[in-house]
Structure 1
């Protein structure tokens, strides 16, 4: 499964969907029409469902490795800092 220990995937599991939803929200603010108001929640629902489906596929393909990654890395709201990066700590003694 590649290395999710670096880059954006070390902080959040669905960065591409977060970015797309941010763009959709921007469209909603820029062009607040009936169509954008109606489509926004539908598109959010579709992308959340797609992300869940992809996670099931990843779990089947990568098993416990993906399960460990998913328990450490949040799906939608990133937590920045070293506490959520999988793998051994860099520097310092064990347990530091």
Structure 2
């Protein structure tokens, strides 16, 4: 239960902090966001959702929760890849450089 609650809190924190940054009026499609959580992973909002689903595995300890996590990961990976292709078209070389520096899923704190 403690592991589930920890992952839930981390997931919700990532979702709300990242959502606030992403959907702030000045940030909507006007510039590439490379600071904050985006300096450590390219998809912190989706990572927050994955943390919650990972927590559900520890809460329920069932095959269904594992399958649910895998399905959600595949879905979010597909969406993230689609978005990255769109961002490459939009921001060109700037996004390609950002992509080289930041991992897609597992956060890096080298930056």
TM-score normalized by structure 2? 0.65
Question: Unpaired runs of 5+ in structure 2?
Answer: 1-30
Q: Which has a greater percent of helix?
A: 2
CA RMSD in angstroms comes to 1.5
Structure label with greater radius of gyration: 1
TM-score normalized by structure 1? 0.74
Mean CA deviation greater in 45-54 or 26-35: 26-35
How many pairs were matched up?
Answer: 81
1:8 to 16, 30, 37: 37
Q: Return the alpha-carbon distance in structure 2 between the equivalents of residues 56 and 36 of structure 1.
A: 30
If asked which structure has higher relative contact order (CA below 8 Å, sep 6+), I would say: 1
Q: Which residue is 1:27 aligned to?
A: 56
Question: Unpaired runs of 5+ in structure 1?
Answer: 85-96
Q: Which residue is 1:80 aligned to?
A: 109
